[in-house]
Structure 1
């Protein structure tokens, strides 16, 4: 049944966490802390990779772009959450909502493609070490990254166009803390089945296609590692993939849980919790995952901090 369409929506009200007014100050402090830690970690990782020559390899080149995406990702979402918590609710114009949705989708889709590229990079490094510098040269690195960004942008254009060409009428309260797809579709005046089919098909394709690339890459990696004679050599070789595997499991696990599960079992509060995890926690955790489990990053960090302390003591 069509919704009341007498009034066309020109702005939305983000309700955020209005159901928990007593938690607004603690949540504000928590999200602000997460935001600062995430920016420090990701920007710090980018700077570290740029200044240390030992990290000028394809793996860290891709990691620097992952950190850039995570910093942009969280900057699209967290400031909006902070304003919503400070005011209790947030009025956002139609154009601002569409822009937030567009940039959020670019970051999420591009990260999917980039994680697949990083899995392919690990496969070439482990399976064909002698050809690695030829197969993954700087030109190939840039080509793969550009393809990831272009695919992410095309996906964002498709999803944003499909979503914001829908008529939104009368009810303009979004029971969420940013402009995401599920709560926006609930406000449409018309039946959104055909739109959802297009959006869901594309979203599922992006997630599943990249997950398949990652799965095939790691099956080939395991096959290559199995040929290593010593168990110590196998462990050392596979350890180079541990950080990436952890990042993949966290990112794709939450995306699949959020967007690929059945709608019948969903609840707005559950969606909020899951969204906080993949929009806030994962961008914050990625620098920690890659620094705590990576000797090269630890060594580079000690060298850079040592130079900084040495320059201050002079």
Structure 2
């Protein structure tokens, strides 16, 4: 085990969620199960969109890339906001990061220099990225709802409201947790609270996106039923081959 005062080399040590060995096994099983669900759901969406010609539209092309990004994001857990400027800061104390991935705020907390400028840069980048994308999404949804209202169709309005509401749940969960994580003042931070908040946008959102964006969609449901029918028919056809090879049986 590396001691707390280990400062040799340039490597950092992630402490994870807990130091209790009993809870470490439970955390591993829990998050491994979440990762399997995330990988299966997003990979299933990609394969389904590629195989079904009815889903070869720009919207589903975008959803397949979103699923691909969720797979990469949940597999690496390394957000792109860690610039080289953070790693150029002097770290003269412990290199043990009290987090489960190499995030900006817990890394800045280990520096022995004045990190106020770096914290402002990180907060500005995250704030601009999250707020601009959230504003663009809200503007897009307002245009969709405006078009539906002009059509004056109650069924279309209910369908659009249901779809937009489920999408907004994912957007709100991601943006609110990211803003809360990176825009809070450093004086009132808690490492345990940061881990919980980081879990929302780095683990929960990639797992929920296939359910929210794709599996509640009628076209995707129809494609899943057709794919299931093809798999079952292929399985029944392969299972009937041994009987066909044996040929007819004769009884005396």
TM-score range, shorter chain: 0.7 to 0.9
Classify 1:159/1:30 alpha carbon distance in 2 versus 1 (closer, same or farther; 3 Å). Answer: closer
Q: Distance in 2 between matches of 1:241 and 1:55?
A: 19
Q: Which residues of structure 1 form unaligned runs of 5+?
A: 1-6, 78-103, 107-157
Q: TM-score, normalised by structure 1?
A: 0.69
Q: Which residue of structure 2 aligns with residue 15 of structure 1?
A: 15
Q: Which residues of structure 2 form unaligned runs of 5+?
A: 1-6, 238-252
The answer to whether the aligner puts 1:105 opposite 2:28 as a matched pair is no
Q: TM-score, normalised by structure 2?
A: 0.84
Name the one with the larger helix percent.
Answer: 1
Q: Which residue of structure 2 aligns with residue 267 of structure 1?
A: 190
The answer to whether the aligner puts 1:207 opposite 2:181 as a matched pair is no
Moved over 6 A (4+): none
Shift of 1:160: 1.7
Q: Which residue of structure 1 aligns with residue 91 of structure 2?
A: 168
* SS of equivalent to 2:79: helix
Q: Which residue of structure 1 aligns with residue 34 of structure 2?
A: 34
Q: Which residue of structure 1 aligns with residue 246 of structure 2?
A: none
Q: Distance in 1 between matches of 2:79 and 2:100?
A: 15
Q: Which residue of structure 2 aligns with residue 295 of structure 1?
A: 218
Shift of 1:204: 1.0
Q: Distance in 1 between matches of 2:116 and 2:184?
A: 16
1:198-218 CA-partner distances (Å, limit 9, x unpaired): 222111111111122122222
The answer to whether the aligner puts 1:246 opposite 2:169 as a matched pair is yes
- Within 5 Å, give how 1:1-314 maps onto structure 2: 9-77=9-77, 104-106=78-80, 159-314=82-237
Contact 1:167 1:189 in 2 (8 A): yes
Contact 1:74 1:283 in 2 (8 A): yes
Classify 1:32/1:237 alpha carbon distance in 2 versus 1 (closer, same or farther; 3 Å). Answer: closer
Aligned residues: 232
Q: Which has the larger radius of gyration?
A: 2
Q: Which residue of structure 2 aligns with residue 132 of structure 1?
A: none
Shift of 1:9: 4.6
Q: Distance in 1 between matches of 2:35 and 2:208?
A: 12
